[in-house]
Chains A and B, each alone.
Chain A
């Protein structure tokens, strides 16, 4: 039986691998080569970001009470998560659910804001994108760690799903956070469901003997500009 306790995932800044191609594509270069100036700025802030990224996060694995796929509701410890039908169908067959939250801290967002304020907008914007990538990468590392944990108990895992994606209302961040102590990993949640630091990610991953990691069912969703559309 998987222990029902919070696990901090040890993550080192060096574990965070940032894909330069993703940064370029965020800046608009999908097929074109960037100007030298752009590569110079990216490289400068990639190497600086090593001192600015402080990844932290963890998860808790809970046995689920019930998954109602027609209503799109997941019941855990008597609490209802209205994950909606798209996510519920992706969770088919799960016995446990891992809830996770993670962050890279607020140093990047602060410096990005400062640079922008001083008129160095290319630098500030590039650094902000690096921060977003680093936050996603932190979530990816936690995902892999949860996979290893699950495998120890001979469980497989699903893809990860976040409040605010795939029609799951971002307001339900409050329910997700209720499984963690206050200020877990230095993350707080505002009344408007915003995590602080900004570069933070939360979500759930299903565990079960028979579950599969499906690609995100993007054809069912209207959010055509989603970062993950047809990606994973």
Chain B
């Protein structure tokens, strides 16, 4: 069992999605995260063990190498894709409640803003670290976030904005959400956002990149 878990971890670490995937070249024609996860389940390895001891471990290694600048965004994206291929096989176990994720994370690009590439990168990284992400999309008003919190009262919230104008909407959203849910943490990010701005608007955490948010959520 140790063996197959380590194999899956390696696939996540190096972004080996499935057997057909040519990348990375030194793993060509070998089984990938997709096949190995299926095999592990067939061998009776618990879904939760696969998630925690293989997938999240793999993504942790990726995150660490990324922070040390040993790998770049493309490898991280390939790892996330390998992770998703494995997660596909675990979905029934999430639905049945047999495995629990670390928590729920409501993510949105704020009202007035349509940028979503940055938000999507954040989504992938946070999902990869074992959280369930509820993606509310772009141009999201505080009412929608409040409604989502009503359904998921323990969730944390992530907000993204790319222009200084929509950063102001971020401020209103944080104040509005906090007035209803003072204890749910709000993380913020996006190109013009800064730590000073975070303090000013009373959000709980700011990070210039998704890795910072992952580290914060998992501490």
Contact = CB atoms under 8 A, between A and B. Distances in A.
**Which of A112, A120, A194 has the most chain B CB within a 10 Å cutoff?**
A194
Interface string B65-85: 000000011110110110010
B114 A194 contact: yes
Contacts of B120: 116, 121, 124
B78 A125 contact: no
B73 A37 contact: no
A28 interface: yes
A128 B163 contact: no
Given A28-B73, A164-B164, A194-B165, A125 B117 contact: yes
B192 to A, nearest CB: 9
**Which of A32, A122, A170 has the most chain B CB within a 10 Å cutoff?**
A122
Label chain B's interface by main secondary structure: helix
A116 B116 CA distance: 10
Given A198-B114, A198-B115, A169 B164 contact: yes
A119 B128 CA distance: 13
Contact of A36 (B25, B73, B115): B25
Contact of A120 (B81, B115, B121, B166): B81
Contact of A121 (B22, B23, B77, B164): B77
A153 interface: no
Contact of B84 (A28, A119, A170, A190): A119
A38 interface: yes
A156 B81 CA distance: 51
Contacts of A217: none
B113 interface: yes
Interface string B175-214: 0000000000000000100000000000000000000000
| Interface size class, chain A | 20 to 34
A196 interface: yes
Contacts of A225: 191
A122 B15 CA distance: 11
B124 A121 contact: yes
A196 B113 CA distance: 10
Nearest to A42: B74
B72 A28 contact: yes
B169 interface: yes
Given A121-B120, A128-B117, A164-B164, A190 B73 contact: no
A192 interface: yes
Interface in B77-123: 77-78, 80-81, 84, 111-117, 120-121
Nearest to A197: B114
A125 B121 contact: yes
A113 B75 contact: no
Contacts of A194: 112-114, 163, 165-166
A192 B112 contact: yes
Interface of A: 27-29, 32, 34-38, 41, 112-113, 116, 119-122, 124-126, 128, 164, 169-171, 190-194, 196, 198, 225
30 contacts: A27-B74, A28-B74, A35-B23, A35-B75, A37-B24, A112-B117, A116-B117, A119-B81, A120-B81, A121-B77, A121-B80, A121-B81, A121-B121, A121-B124, A122-B78, A124-B117, A125-B77, A125-B117, A125-B121, A126-B74, A164-B164, A170-B164, A170-B165, A190-B114, A192-B111, A194-B163, A194-B165, A198-B114, A198-B115, A225-B191
Given A28-B74, A121-B121, 4 more contacts: A27-B73, A125-B121, A128-B117, A194-B163
Q: Which 9 pairs across A and B sit closest by C-beta, in order of nearness?
A: A192-B112, A28-B72, A122-B77, A121-B77, A37-B23, A192-B165, A193-B165, A38-B74, A116-B120
